[in-house]
Structure 1
């Protein structure tokens, strides 16, 4: 009887530890996503003038910084959603969160980068987002 009680206590302690780890990971993901969005908005409304400060280095560098910030946002979003799904929402698994991430990323790309403008650009962006999502889900498994 006491052995069963000690095993139950261990399971409860393990669950508490898992929840703490999930919460800390989720907080870090949310903070990184918010910071990347703030930087992108500041670049977008030209509070941070990348063209003026980095124009002499290269014309491509401001675009590269935007892409890196978008990737940071996307990665933290994927990790955060995967954490929530793993620890809280066991019943809502499958492609629902993948489709939600895809829609969020496409809307984010439209808002931040003024693209895609043509059907080919839209399909390329959709394909790239889908490949990133599939890649991150394969890495998790």
Structure 2
């Protein structure tokens, strides 16, 4: 597991209590270059976002976008803006916040259906390229500005 946050110690305790601490590695925060390298070597990206105890929400995590762009299957939660990014069973998988059993079912389906996951991973990458790519969005914005200028001052 890469990253930190308020749940890290709780997750370490959970792994120990479940008797799986010897099979889970908690790397903590890592440099961006290392994260990108690890993404290239992965098949699935799990990011179960939850509302913080103070009510703070995450928005759309860049880490999910990076994983989708890297061609990984993503599994996350119905949290804040994440459903704008991931359509369940189309561009990834979503489960309710704090529903560990639902996340486990999604991961099991991914493991049992690698052929179907290829299509989903391609769709996820396309979504990022079309809807979240800065170059594409900047070009769309420039076209919109040009159209508005033309409408205001027709030739």
Higher-strand-fraction structure? 2
Query: Looking at CA atoms only, which structure, 1 or 2, has the larger radius of gyration?
Result: 1
TM surpasses 0.5:
no
Return the structure number with greater helix share.
1
> TM range, normalised to the smaller chain?
under 0.3
In the superposition, the TM-score normalised over structure 2's length comes to 0.24
Structure number with the bigger relative contact order (C-alpha 8 A, sep ≥ 6) is 1
